[in-house]
Amino acid sequence: MANQIVLIHGAWQGSWAFEAWTPYLHARGWHPHGIELPGNGWGTPGPASLAAYVDHVCAKLEAIGEPVVLLGHSGGGLIATAVAERAPELVTCIVYLAGMMLPPGMRYAELIRQVSAEYPGEDLSGIGARLEWTPGRRFSVVPQDAALEVFLHDCEITAARRAASMLRPQDEAGRAITVHWTASRAGTVPRVYVEARQDRSVPHVLQKRMQELVPGAHRISLNCGHVPQLARPEELTEELLRVLTNLRSELPHGAD
């Protein structure tokens, strides 16, 4: 696989969410490219939508000019899937970093409902119960104390506070999205799932269920919370590059 990796952030975030991790990737000879999704406070102006996100990421992939590893953190996993559906020839591997890896047409809210019915005592609310909303509920806001407790509880406190302060209002049109993908396009791209066992945002039971519903991903299991790239950047780098190296060796003639 080529040593280009494109990093797609989740809701309320920007490319800054990967800043603590990218030096580790550079040190191992990789070239990370952070994405600023349109309509997300840190990205380009315009409405937030799945179509706008996919257009934006695909334009970046075309500019890079060679197939890339495409990583989606949290809700960025949905966008990575949609990009791979549109342009599988531009993606050598999808990495879901504590990400949403859902079957075609399934919403994350539906996954929560299904698992809640099986585990009635399990708290699967994540950040949802802590969100604040603008009038009309177009934008959601993550209070800093909630970010520290749900997203960043196992990160170094100074780094965690900075990350919490960087979150921005999220357009709901770009968060409550559904991806329709096919086995013949996105389904042909190798996948890696990085599960975070102490995740309070996407609880581990949901991460396990997604891997059951969309089988075949190479699994990496880290004992950390929702932001491995900040909580465990060195371990994440070692484990992910080990898997990507193995995947490269499995491709015909080591092709990208």
Domain count, the chain: 1
pLDDT at 45: 73
Residue 122 has pLDDT above 60, yes or no: yes
- pTM of the complete model: 0.95
Half-sphere exposure of residue 10, counting CA atoms within 13 Å on the CB side? 20
List the one residue out of 251, 254, 17, 237 whose CA is nearest residue 142: 17
Alpha-carbon distance of 229 to 154, in angstroms, equals: 12
Q: Dihedral (C-alpha) 16, 20, 25, 31: value to the nearest 10 degrees?
A: 20
Q: How many CB atoms lie within 10 A of CB 105?
A: 10
Residue with tokens 């993550």: 142
Cα 124 to chain centroid distance, Å, stands at 18
Alpha-carbon distance of 101 to 96, in angstroms, equals: 7
Q: Which amino acid is at 177?
A: I
Percent of residues, the chain, with pLDDT higher than 90: 90
**Structural domain span for residue 56:** 4-254
Residue with tokens 């600023």: 36
pLDDT at 255: 47
Residue 155 has pLDDT above 50, yes or no: yes
With beta carbons less than 8 A apart as the criterion, state whether 171 and 40 touch: yes
Name the band, by pLDDT with cuts 50, 70 and 90, for residue 44: confident
Mean pLDDT highest for which of 43-52, 118-127, 209-218, 240-249?
209-218
Reported as a single tens digit per residue, the pLDDT across 165-195 is 999 999 999 999 999 999 999 999 999 999 9
pLDDT at 43: 75
Alpha-carbon distance of 204 to 206, in angstroms, equals: 5
Cα 251 to chain centroid distance, Å, stands at 24
Which tokens belong to 18? 């990967």
Residue 197 has pLDDT above 90, yes or no: yes
User: Rounded mean pLDDT of 103-112?
Assistant: 96
Residue 134 has pLDDT above 70, yes or no: yes
Sequence-ordered list of residues with C-beta below 8 angstroms from that of 99, at least 6 positions apart, any chain: 10, 72, 73, 74, 75, 76, 77, 78, 80, 193, 194, 202
pLDDT at 251: 61
List the one residue out of 183, 196, 182 whose CA is nearest residue 240: 196
DSSP-based three-state secondary structure for 80? helix
Half-sphere exposure of residue 138, counting CA atoms within 13 Å on the CB side? 7
With beta carbons less than 8 A apart as the criterion, state whether 227 and 97 touch: no
Domain CATH number, residue 62: 3.40.50.1820
Lowest mean pLDDT among 40-54, 76-90, 146-160: 40-54
